[in-house]
Amino acid sequence: MALLLGLGVYTVNAKMKALEAEKVQTEQEWMLNGSQPSNPSNYIPAPDGTRNDCQEQEENVCVVIAPATSSGQPNFSAVPGLPEALAGDLEHDNIIKGPYDPNP
């Protein structure tokens, strides 16, 4: 019985790790290229690490981290709370604010 329970826990843990790895692979950085942060069409794909060039001040959206849709735009609705945070100018772990400066 204990062996069966241990195997079940191991299987669930392995599946959760696989889902987390898939999430990391599908999320990408998007740079705001417009004036409405809640509109996915105002973003362009940004190279990985672009978020490090945002000066992280309480200003405008610099980078948003979200998976891509099949049409090549950010899929905000795939990240819980992200659409509301962008629409309401709220804090969210997937929103990096501040001016973009690649040469700080």
pLDDT 10s digits, 50-67: 989 887 777 789 999 999
Give per-residue pLDDT as tens, 69-100.
999 999 999 999 999 999 999 999 999 998 88
Element (H, E) at 9: helix 2-26
Cα separation, 73 vs 43, whole angstroms: 7
Q: Report the distance separating Cα 98 and Cα 77, nearest Å.
A: 23
Q: Would you state the pLDDT for residue 99? A: 86
Is the confidence at residue 6, as pLDDT, over 60?
no
How is residue 49 written in tokens? 């690490």
- Beta strand pairing status for 27-32 and 43-45? antiparallel
How many whole angstroms from its chain centre is CA 87? 16
Q: Which residue reads 């400066």 in tokens?
A: 101
